Amino acid sequence: MDFQIKSFDDYKAKYKASVDDPEGFWADIAGHYKWQKKWDKTLEWEFKTPSVKWFQGGKMNITENCLDRHLETRGNKLALIWEPNDPKERFIRYTYRELHEKVCKFANVLKAKGVEKGDRVALYMPMVPELTVAVLACARIGAVHSVVFAGFSAGALADRINDSSCKVVITSDGSYRGTKEIPVKGVVNEALKSCDSVEAVLVVERTQWSVQMKEGRDFWLHDELEKVDANCPPEPMDAEDMLFILYTSGSTGKPKGVVHTCGGYMVYAGYSFANVFQPNESDVYWCTADIGWITGHTYIVYGPLLNGTTTMMFEGVPTYPSPGRFWQVCDKHGVNQFYTAPTAIRALMAAGEDHVLSYGLYDLKVLGTVGEPINVEAWEWYHIHVGKERCPVVDTWWQTETGGIMISGLGNHSPMRASYAGYPLPGIQPVLLDQEGNEIEENEKEGYLAMKFPWPGILRTTYGDHERCKNTYFAHYDDYYFTGDGAKRDKDGMYRIIGRVDDVINVSGHRFGTAEIEDAINSRDELVAESAVVGYPHEIKGQGIYAYVITKQKPDNPDKLRAEIIETIVKQIGRIAKPDKIQFVSGLPKTRSGKIMRRILRKVAEGDTSNLGDTSTLLDPDVVEEIKEGAL
């Protein structure tokens, strides 16, 4: 890992070099990986179309870099530790050699089911070791993985399978999360009623429940593994071939499939992991995210394995069997780098210090957070009680679209300040823009966060709809990638992320478009005339979901109707998108042109009705009074 930054001065020098000669900088980093054929051209780009190509002409396979490359020196080193939901169940460990073999065999099963380079494979699975193996098996043969978080509903899964016409689905019989038992295969069966592209389903046995298997379509993974050998050479991939699709919500329409490609993503995942977490050879690293989100892709699977690090995955939840579980697991496996979300920290903080004070946590060296702004109180609790004031806290800002961490501390090599993500990684060129799209040069200012130069991990398109990629990220401001976030830069040039400036809500680090939830509510059109959804500050989840709903008739039994609306959302999107509050209203504050004034709705949801601004231009100013009075 000789591209690891070693001090703040080193950071500054590398940052400067990366701006002076970005191509030279990235070519140097890319040179640390194994390429079957070296690239001809480091970078070709423009943000209009947009078109970004890194390492063109290069041939490689990311799994060769994650696995084969380490076999000689790290073959017997642990690659993966799996900690089950139930602490009494045995954990599982694979060395690099074992993981390599498992990936090759799984890849051969996929081939036997007719999966070829470029085919899409959907993964709808709990956090079991087979999920990591499956992701890598797809990459091994050049199939494009599309991991769908297993908390999404059958409807949401079907939409994603259909959007990219997946040929195969990989799933499990069921799953355990805390005290819950989840019928995973049942959800897949339901989804597949409306998915014609799927030819085969591979089922991992986790719970040994009896599940419905469709003859000729559904196969138990363990049966199929018996029929294949462990020899599967890595498919040579062009640097710009697709590696994966990951669906994410935006401010409009249905979730879109963010596309990452092989070469650039590999370089960025490996580079950012090594620098932010600063792992040493013997370290055990744990990221508590689910592989269904980008954090799990880049910082459970690819980033750590590219660096030959021991990575841990956890099946359970932070509060089971007690709110001390994370810390018990850290002690049990000697975790050195720990990476989690502010929402989890706040939940554990609320459960009281005793749970963390009972554990030593002696091995911890770096603590990370991701997914949403972290408030000062949670940051300090994490730093003091978990890190014992010894460990730097890296507040890592990034997005599904950026592929990897963009603004963050680098282990203990950069200054840190509670609630500040900090400085951009070398190679990353953030700017703050004003309303008109002019760059704000001064410090101590707020603006829209954008990027003015590509980095290898930037998304390349949104699956099947390049126009949408352009409109969402590159059309707001000419020649910039627009993040959708607002940020502040302090006097020292450190960045503090304020939050989304678009209609995206971030609930416990999970992104939802308000439109997506409104569509689900409005689908009950026999009951609902219209709805508007906004986020509001929530003590644990960061943001909660507040829905204003106009019903066709005044509801006789509002609680029953609330329950029905929630059920509809759970069915169409999933449990994670359940509104916290539903207020029935007779109208919504709209401008004369019919646009909903969300600013007013947000204020009411926040419980701050003192200053709603000028409401005289509204179509029906009286409705604001009614909404204020009925606020929950």
The minimum distance between CB 249 and ligand WTA, in angstroms, equals 9
The minimum distance between CB 562 and ligand WTA, in angstroms, equals 28
Q: 236: cis peptide before it, omega within 30°?
A: no
Nearest to 409 by CA among 401, 420, 399: 420
With contact defined as beta carbons under 8 Å apart, do 314 and 329 qualify?
yes
Q: Tell me: does residue 511 bind ligand WTA (CB under 6 A).
A: yes
The minimum distance between CB 32 and ligand WTA, in angstroms, equals 24
Q: Tell me: does residue 370 bind ligand WTA (CB under 6 A).
A: yes
Q: Tell me: does residue 583 bind ligand WTA (CB under 6 A).
A: no
Burial-class residue 137 by CB neighbours within 10 Å (0-12, 13-18, 19+).
Answer: buried
Q: Tell me: does residue 191 bind ligand WTA (CB under 6 A).
A: no
The minimum distance between CB 148 and ligand WTA, in angstroms, equals 14
- Residue selected from 26, 397, 420, 482 as contacting ligand WTA according to rule CB under 6 A: 397
DSSP 166: -
- Residue selected from 95, 172, 340, 396 as contacting ligand WTA according to rule CB under 6 A: 396
Q: Tell me: does residue 340 bind ligand WTA (CB under 6 A).
A: no
- Residue selected from 35, 244, 398, 477 as contacting ligand WTA according to rule CB under 6 A: 398
489 versus 562: smaller Cβ distance to ligand WTA: 489
157 versus 407: smaller Cβ distance to ligand WTA: 407
Q: Site residues for ligand WTA, window 30-89 (CB under 6 A)?
A: none
| Orientation angle between helical segments 622-630 and 598-606, nearest 10 degrees | 30
- Residue selected from 500, 524, 541, 598 as contacting ligand WTA according to rule CB under 6 A: 500
Provide CB contacts within 8 A for 87, sequence distance 6+: 321, 325, 328, 329
- Tokens 């689908």 correspond to what residue? 523
Neighbour-count burial for 545-555, b at 16+ CB within 10 Å, e otherwise: bbbbbbbeeee
Q: Site residues for ligand WTA, window 269-308 (CB under 6 A)?
A: 293-295
The minimum distance between CB 278 and ligand WTA, in angstroms, equals 18
Q: Which residues are paired to 486 by β-bridges?
A: 448, 499
The minimum distance between CB 591 and ligand WTA, in angstroms, equals 27
The minimum distance between CB 397 and ligand WTA, in angstroms, equals 4
Q: Tell me: does residue 535 bind ligand WTA (CB under 6 A).
A: no
Integer Cα distance of 156 and 148 in angstroms = 9
Q: What is the largest CA-CA distance in the chain?
A: 74
Q: Tell me: does residue 484 bind ligand WTA (CB under 6 A).
A: yes
337 versus 551: smaller Cβ distance to ligand WTA: 337
Burial-class residue 156 by CB neighbours within 10 Å (0-12, 13-18, 19+).
Answer: buried
| DSSP line for 191-230 | HHTT-SS--EEEEE-SS-------TTTEEEHHHHHTT--S
39 versus 463: smaller Cβ distance to ligand WTA: 463
- Residue selected from 395, 502, 503, 516 as contacting ligand WTA according to rule CB under 6 A: 395
- Residue selected from 121, 361, 451, 497 as contacting ligand WTA according to rule CB under 6 A: 497
- 169 CA to centre of own chain: 20
The interface region with ligand WTA, picked from 124-132, 347-355, 497-505, 527-535 by CB under 6 A, is 497-505
With contact defined as beta carbons under 8 Å apart, do 583 and 548 qualify?
yes
* Residue span 230-249 as binding mask against ligand WTA, x where in contact by CB under 6 A, dash where not: ------------------x-
The minimum distance between CB 485 and ligand WTA, in angstroms, equals 5
Angle at 536 between CA 532 and CA 541, to 5 degrees: 120
- Residue selected from 264, 373, 424, 426 as contacting ligand WTA according to rule CB under 6 A: 373
* HSE-CB for 623 with a 13 A CA cutoff: 19
The interface region with ligand WTA, picked from 114-122, 149-157, 396-404, 463-471 by CB under 6 A, is 396-404
403 versus 589: smaller Cβ distance to ligand WTA: 403
Provide CB contacts within 8 A for 53, sequence distance 6+: 41, 43, 44, 45, 239, 240
Q: Tell me: does residue 428 bind ligand WTA (CB under 6 A).
A: no
- Residue selected from 372, 502, 516, 530 as contacting ligand WTA according to rule CB under 6 A: 372
Element (H, E) at 45: strand 41-46
Q: Tell me: does residue 371 bind ligand WTA (CB under 6 A).
A: yes
Give me 573's structure tokens.
Answer: 């999107």
Residues in contact with ligand WTA by the rule CB under 6 A: 248, 293-295, 370-373, 395-400, 421, 483-485, 497, 499-500, 506, 511
